[in-house]
Structure 1
C-alpha cells in the first residue's frame, strides 16, 4: 500500500511554499507588526489570486474543490513562515462548517467572497470559562425564526475585520450555531494581547438579534456542527505546528553547523547532535499523527481518538522543539533581530489553543480506561 502523498497534494503544498517564501520575510513581518491589525492584507490577496484561500471550498462556491488534507498542507506552509494571516480561524473553523452544514444561500453569500479574498469570516470557539464549543455557556433564546444571544466569547481572531463570526450558544432544546455580525447592536469587541501577536478580541454579546439567514444550525444539529468544526481546527493547528517546529529545527541545525566553539562547529558535539536528532524524531512523529487524523476526518469516519493524539503531540512537540531550539541557539534565540522568537511564540500559542496537552491527555486516558479507545 502506498502511503505517500499524491501529486495533487504536493502541488498545493509547493504552490503555497513558493508564494509564502517569496512574500514573507523578517523585514515585512516587522512592518506588519507595526500595523494595528497585524494582518498582511497584500499577502492574503495574493493567496486569493492563486486560489489557495479556496483550496477546500467547492468549485460551485468559487474554490478549488480539494479536500481537507490539501488545506492542511497549505496551513503547514503558513506555519513554516509564521505568516501573519488567519488561515485556520477563517478557512477551517468558519468556512468548512458553512460548506458542510450551511444552506445553499449561506454558502453562496459567505463562501464566494471569502474564496476571492473580499471578506473574512472568523470563529469564536472559546469562552472565559470553557474551551469546548459544543458545551457553551453563552445563551440564546428564540425570537421569531431567529435568536437573541447573550454571553461572552474570548480569543476571537480578527473579529473587527470579519463579516460574520461563527459562535455556539445553548438553548433550552440544545446547542445552536449562529453567525454573528460583529457590528450589530449589542456586540462589543475588546482588543486582547495574545502570545502569538495575532489580533484577537473578547466579544461581549448583550441581547444581540440573529436573523434566520444567519442561523447555521438549530438545536438538533448545532452541537454536532461545533464538534465537527473543533476537531478539524485542532488537526489544522497540529499541521501548523508541523511547519512551525520543522522550521525551528532546521534553523537550529543551520545555526549549530556554523557556530563554532573550541575551533569546531558545535553541531559536532555529541550532546548537541543528540538534542537535534530528538527534535527531528519529534517533528516526524507529529507529522504522522497530524496527517493520520486529517486523512480520517477527510474520510468522514470517527477520528476522535486520533484527533486527541494529534493535539497532545502538537503541544508536546512544539514545547520540546522550541525549548531545544532556544537552548542550542543560546542567547541569540530571544533576540528580536533573529526570527526564532516568532516560532517559539507561535509554538506556545498552538500548544494552549483549545486545551492543553495535559488536559487532552487526561481525557484520552479516561477513554482508554473506560474501554472507549483502542478496544478491538
Structure 2
C-alpha cells in the first residue's frame, strides 16, 4: 500500500486547506448557525474542488475531508460527493451521468443520503413511501439518495418530498424525510448500496480524522500557554499522556480511512477496510474529542468555544452510519462469511 498523494491530490488538498482556513473561521461558523455556509460552498464549486473528486478518487476526497474536519466547515462536502457525485458517476447510467453530474460538480445541485437503509421505506414501482427520521444536510439538499428496505438505491428530488426540521448533535442542517408516493429513479443495481455505504463510511472517517486533528491542535495550543503554578499545563505528565493517547487514536483513524480509500481506488475489496475505519472513527473519535474538551479545563465547558464544535461533530460522526458496536458486529459477520467462502 502506498498512501503518498499524487501531485493532483496534493494540490487539491493544499487548495482545500487554503479555502477552509480562509472562510471557515469561528466567527463565520457562529454566524451561520446550523445552515450551510453558502459563500464557502460556492467557493468550493467555483474552484473545481468538488468536480475534481472524480479524478483524484476516494483517497483524494478523504484528504480534502480531513481539511474540512480540521475547521468543522459548515458545508455538505462529504455527503454531496459520496451520495451525489461518486454514486452517480460509479453506478448511474450514461443518461443519468449527463443529466446529474454537471450540477453536482459545480455545486449548483447538492445531494445527501438517507443512509443506512431504512426499514420503513418501500418502493412501489418508481414511487417511494416511508419516513427516514433524520437525514444530514437535508434542508440544504436538492437531491436525496434513498436506500429502501430491499437495499436498492433511488434518487429523489428534495422538492418532491416533505421535509421537516430536525436538530442533531452537530449543526448539520438535518431534516426528517417523509415520502408518500414520491417519484424516484433507480440508481445502480445489485451491490450498489453496499458500495455507496462503504464509500460513505470511509469518507466520514476521513472527516473524523480532521475533526480529531483540529480538536487536538486546539488542546495543544491551549495547554502550551495556559499556566498553573507558574508552569504551562503541557508540562504536566498527565496532560502529555492524554494528548499522546489522543494523537495515536487520531493516527489510527487516519491510516484506516486511507487504507479503505486506497483499496477502493485500486479496485480491491474494501468493505472490511471501510468498516474498520468506521469503527476507529466511532470509538477512537469519541475518545479524542472528549480529550480535546477535557484538556481545555473549564474553557471546554463553554458552548461558544471553538473546541466545542469539534466535540459535537466528533460525537455526531461516531453515531452516524452505525455506532462502534454495530459496526463491529457487521464487520465480524462479514469476516465470518468470507472465511466460510474461503473454506469452501
With the shorter chain as reference, the TM-score category is over 0.9
Aligned residue number for residue 18 of structure 1: 18
In structure 2, runs of 5+ residues without a counterpart are none
CA RMSD between the two structures: 2.1
The answer to whether 1:124 aligns with 2:114 is yes
Q: 1: distance between equivalents of 2:217 and 2:4?
A: 22
Alignment of 1:266-345 (within 5 A): 266-345=233-312
SS at match of 2:193: helix
Residues 68-122 of structure 1, C-alpha deviation per residue, up to 9 Å, x if partnerless?
1111111111111100000111111222111111122211221102212222122
What is the CA–CA distance in structure 2 between the aligned matches of 1:297 and 1:14, rounded to whole Å? Answer: 23
Selected match of 1:206 from 171, 180, 191: 180
Once residues 165 and 18 of structure 2 are traced to their aligned partners in structure 1, the CA distance between those partners, rounded to angstroms, is 33
In the other structure, the counterpart of 1:216 is 187
- Give, in whole Å, the separation in 1 of the partners of 2:180 and 2:304: 44
SS of 1:180's equivalent? strand
Aligned residues: 343
> How many angstroms apart in 2 are the aligned matches of 1:94 and 1:206?
22
- Note if contact 2:35-2:140 (Cα within 8 Å) is conserved in structure 1: no
**2:47 aligned residue (38, 50, 62):** 50
Aligned to 2:35, what secondary structure does the other structure show? coil
Once the two structures are overlaid, the 10-residue window that deviates more, 360-369 or 334-343, is 360-369
> Which structure: greater helix fraction?
2
Post-superposition offset of 1:216: 1.9
Change (3 A) 1:118 1:277: same
> 2:124 maps to what in 1?
141
Distance change in 2, residues 1:176/1:360 (3 Å): closer
* TM-score, normalising length: structure 2: 0.93
User: CA contact under 8 A between 2:84 and 2:104: conserved in structure 1?
Assistant: no
* Greater Rg by CA: 1
CA distance in 2, matches of 1:120, 1:2: 32
Deviation at 1:369, TM superposition (A): 5.6
Deviation at 1:366, TM superposition (A): 4.1
Task: State the TM-score, normalizing by the size of structure 1.
Answer: 0.86
Structure 1: gaps (5+ residues): 58-64, 126-130
SS of residue paired to 2:339: coil
